[in-house]
Amino acid sequence: MRRASNSADARAAGVALFFFLLGWYVLTMSGHTYASDEETVLAAGQALVATGSFAISADEPFLMNVNTGADGRRYSRYGPLQSVLAAPLIVAGGALGRLTPGYGELVLRLVLLLLPALITAATGWLVLLWVVEAGFSVRIGALVGLLYGLTSLAWPHSRTFFGEPLATLFLALCGYGLRRDARRWWMIAGMAAVGALATKIQAGLALPALALYALAVCWRGGGRAFAQALAGRLGFGLLGLALPLALLLAYNTLLFGAPLNSGYGSVGAQALAQDGNWRTGLYGLTISTGKGLIFYAPSMLLGLLGLGIRRQWRESLLAVLMLASHLAFYSKVGYWHGDGAWGPRYMVFVLPFVYLPAAGLLAALGTRARGWRWAAGALAAASFGLQLLPLLVNFNVYLQLSDPNERYFTPAASPIVAQPQIWLGRAREYWWRLRGGPPGTALLINDFAYSEGDRARGELLPRWTYANATFQLNPAGAGALSGTLWVADHRPWPLARANFELRLNGQPLAGVERTNTDGDPIRWRLHFALAPGQAGPGALLQLHSDTWNPTRDTQDNPRNEDLGLLIERAELREGDALLELREALPIPPPRMTRRGLWLWTQDVPNHHLFDLWQWYVLASGMPGAQAALLLALFGLPALAALIAGGRGVLHALQASSGGQPRGASTQYD
């Protein structure tokens, strides 16, 4: 007979793993959204809290992932469940935001991002319980749970508000429920299946694989025993399915006019549109350096290598079916890469299932030479290191700087390579701000807007200035300096032309040659020369001008900034040698609007040093007392959960001898 899996040890280890992962995820939260998809789900939740309706205001053009409902209003094309679950956090975030006036949008998203952290930690908990239910020791279950929670894409995606983490939790709950003996668990499995659909309709792709897994669980070696096992469970599963499915179909009917009309259209017509090249998609999702699972979660190999172990054949079958069905489908979807995310976003659904067979491999490694165990540990460590990379820089920054085909398929252009490179460049800038730039450079340090040149090639100009655009001059010696700036005054009629001048260390610079280059008083060439010793290392060259605001001074221009002049070119020389232009600009405070905050965290000119909520709180300009309050409210409980959970996980790893599955001689066919 199969031994019960919900032992006290398994329950204790599962709770410990949950709190350990939750603490880790909260400490490494991003604290913001990455895409309009997430903001659309948030907006639906906000509408539900404010009006009791899922209808999204027509005044938010940033929210593009919407569909027109049967009543003519706009609705999220994603399922309603994530917005419903987010509603209490939206209320809590609004209340906490009142303690930090002026920073409500930032605080709201900090609270909101607790949801995917909770969800992903719960999925790791389920993975542990599932492994134990399959007959392995608690130690093996804890190891597989840690592999899933810390070395796979589950961790980076716990930092987002995409629907994949929640749908994955429900799919994992469905599979775990099917594995349990108690019939009530099949009822829970049926409810969980609808929960996945009510989060993202694409999760339905996993249901045939789970149905086959249900049949495999009921298989007892003969037709009569199989029929008895299935008959005793199927009714409960259908009962669990019925009511939630009826509610979901009623939601579709009320909002989109027919029970099978989701936000994606009739029977998910848009989601099912397969207009891509399957060879490109399959290569991209599996072994490409830009999006391939094998590069973004190499520890997954432990699951794949465990597929052939017979005593877990049911879980191996499920893993193969899940992986094959999702690869077959998404390989033909034109947007196979699911960009705006770290790694292949649409493969997040399959991760817990693919890691399950690692249990058999880890159990077998317990009897092998130490070198095999070291190899598995090294693979897990490398995979953990890869999941650290999104914490350095918002991955959307590199998306703006790179060509998609190069990013996906050229190893040297992979985000895995680019993330540390971008971070090192930014770390140098922060060092320069503290210690001054390197000799032979001129740093853009203040009052510059973003570059309008080719940022993928690192072009710093042209760009608009604000009132006091400042260069820091760092000559290599004490020789003569000279410079030429080509500027343009593009403010529209009837505004008066700009008054502007060059200043050195805050004082007007004498002897500047001003030459109008176009016959109209728009473009000017400014040339100056400095005597030896007049400008030593750290001297400040300023282009001072009065400003105009495109939003205020023109019609239908969304650029709400006080602009000075456009610097088209700049040449600063020490003798005959050009000073290399570099930038080390301060990060402006965020605009507390939906789109403004989203842009602030990922816009290329904003050189954030980390993609972590702690950094954004400190970089936002929030008063010190309010920032300290947020750091304590989020950080201290997370740290406590991490420490307490870590002790429990360590106890589980040390207490079990581990390797062999419990009752192996009687549990596996």
pLDDT category, 656, cuts 50, 70, 90?
Answer: low
**pLDDT of the residue at 665:** 37
- Among left, alpha and beta (phi > 0; psi -120 to 50; other), residue 28 is alpha
Reply yes or no on whether the pLDDT at 303 is more than 80.
yes
Q: Which pLDDT tens digit goes with each residue over 306-352?
A: 998 888 899 999 999 999 999 999 999 989 999 999 999 999 999 99
Backbone angles phi, psi at 11, to 5 degrees: -65, -45
For residue 564, give both structure tokens.
């000075």
Average pLDDT, integer, range 155-159 = 98
For residue 358, give both structure tokens.
């690692």
For residue 472, give both structure tokens.
């820091």
For residue 162, give both structure tokens.
């995409």
**pLDDT of the residue at 168:** 98
Which residues neighbour 467 within 8 Å (Cβ) at sequence distance 6 or greater?
Answer: 447, 544, 545, 546, 547, 562, 564
Reply yes or no on whether the pLDDT at 417 is more than 80.
yes
**pLDDT of the residue at 4:** 47
Q: Which residue type is seen at 428? A: R
Nearest residue to 352 via CA among 159, 210, 233, 185: 210
Percent of the chain at pLDDT > 70 equals 96
Average pLDDT, integer, range 135-153 = 97
Backbone angles phi, psi at 403, to 5 degrees: -85, 135
DSSP 11-30: HHHHHHHHHHHHHHHHHT--
For residue 329, give both structure tokens.
């489908």
Q: Return the DSSP state at 341.
A: S
Average pLDDT, integer, range 180-194 = 95
Q: Which domains does the chain have, with CATH numbers?
A: 438-583 (2.60.120)
Average pLDDT, integer, range 227-245 = 90
CA-CA distances (angstroms) from residue 75 to 256, 437, 445?
A: 9, 51, 44
Percent of the chain at pLDDT > 90 equals 75
Side-chain-side CA neighbours of 381 within 13 Å: the count stands at: 6
Q: Which pLDDT tens digit goes with each residue over 28-43?
A: 999 999 999 999 999 9
Nearest residue to 18 via CA among 566, 649, 597, 584: 649
Q: Which pLDDT tens digit goes with each residue over 271-291?
A: 455 677 899 999 999 999 999
Instruction: Give, for 123, the enclosing helix (H) or strand (E).
Output: helix 114-133
Q: Which pLDDT tens digit goes with each residue over 497-526?
A: 999 999 999 999 999 999 998 878 899 999
Distance between CA 134 and CA 142 in Å, rounded? 13
Average pLDDT, integer, range 588-609 = 91
Distance between CA 211 and CA 562 in Å, rounded? 60
**pLDDT of the residue at 605:** 83
Which residues neighbour 416 within 8 Å (Cβ) at sequence distance 6 or greater?
Answer: 289, 295, 296, 386, 389
Q: Which pLDDT tens digit goes with each residue over 425-467?
A: 999 989 888 888 889 999 999 999 988 888 778 889 999 999 9
Which residues neighbour 36 within 8 Å (Cβ) at sequence distance 6 or greater?
Answer: 62, 63, 64, 65
Distance between CA 47 and CA 53 in Å, rounded? 6
Reply yes or no on whether the pLDDT at 145 is more than 90.
yes
Decide: 495 and 553 in contact? Cβ < 8 Å.
yes
Which residues neighbour 465 within 8 Å (Cβ) at sequence distance 6 or greater?
Answer: 447, 448, 449, 543, 545, 563, 564, 565, 566, 567
Average pLDDT, integer, range 181-210 = 95
**pLDDT of the residue at 503:** 96
Reply yes or no on whether the pLDDT at 61 is more than 80.
no
Distance between CA 343 and CA 240 in Å, rounded? 34
Nearest residue to 442 via CA among 586, 582, 585: 582
Report the chain's mean pLDDT, rounded to a whole number.
91
Distance between CA 116 and CA 123 in Å, rounded? 10
Sign of the CA dihedral with 503 first, then 505, 511, and 515 last: negative
**pLDDT of the residue at 138:** 95
For residue 529, count other CB atoms closer than 10 A to its CB. Answer: 13
For residue 520, give both structure tokens.
């109209």
Reply yes or no on whether the pLDDT at 650 is more than 60.
yes
**pLDDT of the residue at 265:** 61
Three-state DSSP class for 530?
strand
**pLDDT of the residue at 22:** 99
pLDDT category, 223, cuts 50, 70, 90?
Answer: confident
For residue 97, give both structure tokens.
């935001």
**pLDDT of the residue at 60:** 79
- pTM for the whole structure: 0.89
Three-state DSSP class for 610?
coil
